[in-house]
Amino acid sequence: MTIEYDLHSHSVASDGTLTPAGLVQQAHAAGVQVLALTDHDTTDGISAASVTADELGLQLVPGVEVSVSWQSMTVHILGLNIDPHCAALQTGLQRLQGVRDWRAMEIGRRLDKAGIPGAFDGASALTRGRIVSRTHFARFLVEQGHAQSLREVFKRYLVPGKPGYVSGEWAGLEEGLDWIRQAGGLAVIAHPARYRMTASKLRRLIGEFRELGGAGIEVVSGSHTRDNITSMAALARTGNLLASRGSDYHGPENPWVKLGHMAELPAGCTPVWESEAWPAH
Ligand code: AMP
Ligand code: MN
Ligand code: MN
Ligand code: MN
C-alpha cells in the first residue's frame, strides 16, 4: 500500500485561501495521508491544523517555507518536521515578518506612484494572518480590475523590473538552514525548477545547500512540468540529496494544482520520508 504524501501547502496564515482546519479537511477528502503545512515565514497555522488532523487521522507534518536571499535571488527553503516552539526559528521568522511589513509599505508606495492608490490598505485588508505577501497585492489588483488573473498581474506589476516589485533582504542561506536545523527539521529546496537560474547556478545552489546541511530538493511540485521532474530527479541523484514531493497548494481558486494526486517520484530517487531523520524511523 502506498501512502499519499503532500509535503508543501499553504493556509490563510500566509497566502493560502483555506483556514488550517479547512485545508486539512480538503487534504483528507482528497486521500492525502501525510500533509505538511508550510506557510511562508510563519508557523501560526500549525496548531489549528494539528487539531483537525488528529480528529481525521491524517498525519500533519509541521513545516514552514523560509524566504532566503542567495546571490541576489529569492529562494524558498522548506523546513519539514520542525518544532514550531523553537526560539531560534521564531526569532528568525519574526525578522522576516518585519521585512514583509516594510516591503508591503514600499510596494504600496511604488504602486501609488504608478497610478494605483490604496494598494497597501487593500492588500492588508485581504490578509487573514500575520503575513502580507505579493499574492495579497495580486488579489487586490485583480479585484480592482488592473488585470484578469493572478498570473497576469504578477507579470505586469509584481516581478523584477515592474513597478510594484521590491526586493526584500530575506534570511541568508546559512542562517535559514540553521533555524531549521535548530528546530529539528529537514531542509528542502522548494520548487527548484522555478528560479530562472542557469543549470550551473542551480547546481551551485544545491552544492552550497548540501554543504550547509540541507537534506533534499522538491522533485515533484505542483509547479513542475514532467521535464522539470525528470531533470530535478537527476539533480537530486547527482547532488546526493533526498527527493520531496509537494503540491504547493494555495486553495481551490487555482484549478491547476490539487492536494495530493501528483506524479510519483521517479525511480532512483530516495524519498525524504525514507530518511533516517524522518520521525517515523
Ligand atoms: P512573496 O513571498 O510575498 O514574494 O510572494 C510569493 C508568492 O506569490 C508565491 O509563494 C506564490 O504563491 C505567488 N506567486 C508568485 N508568482 C506567481 C505567479 N506568476 N502567479 C501567481 N502566483 C504567484
Ligand atoms: Mn505563496
Ligand atoms: Mn515558494
Ligand atoms: Mn509554497
Which protein residues are within 6 Å of ligand 1, measured from CB? 15, 40, 67, 133-135, 150-151, 154, 250
For a mutational test of ligand 1's pocket, the pick from 8, 15, 76, 148, i.e. the residue with the most ligand atoms closer than 8 A to its C-beta, is 15
pTM of the model: 0.98
pLDDT tens, 80-119? 999 999 999 999 999 999 999 999 999 999 999 999 999 9
> Counting atoms of ligand 1 from 1, which one is nearest the CA of 15?
12
Please report, rounded to a whole number, the percentage of residues in the chain having pLDDT higher than 90.
97
| Mutation test residue for ligand 1: of 39, 40, 135, 249, the one with most atoms within 8 Å of CB | 135
Which residues hold their Cβ within 5 A of ligand 2, which is an ion? 15
> Which pLDDT belongs to residue 114?
96
Pocket test for ligand 1, best of 74, 134, 249 (most atoms within 8 A of CB): 134
Per-residue pLDDT reduced to its tens digit, 253-277: 998 999 998 999 999 999 999 999 9
Confidence of residue 236 (pLDDT cuts 50, 70, 90): very high
pLDDT tens sequence across 30-78: 999 999 999 999 999 999 999 999 999 999 999 999 999 999 999 999 9
Quote the ligand 2 centre to 27 CA distance (angstroms): 18
Task: Please tell me the distance between residue 1's alpha carbon and the centre of ligand 2 in angstroms.
Answer: 32
Distance 240 CA to ligand 3 centre (A): 22
Ligand closest to Cα of 13 equals: 2
Distance between Cα 268 and ligand 3 center (Å): 25
At 2, the pLDDT band (50, 70, 90 cuts) reads confident
Question: Which pLDDT value is given to residue 1?
Answer: 67
Q: Please give the backbone phi and psi of residue 102, each rounded to the nearest 5 degrees, phi first.
A: -60, -45
When pLDDT is averaged across residues 141-156 and rounded to a whole number, the result is 96
Which residue minimizes the CA distance to atom 16 of ligand 1?
154
Q: Which ligand is nearest to the CA of 97?
A: 1
CA of 245 to the centre of ligand 3 (A): 13
C-alpha cell at 208: 552550497
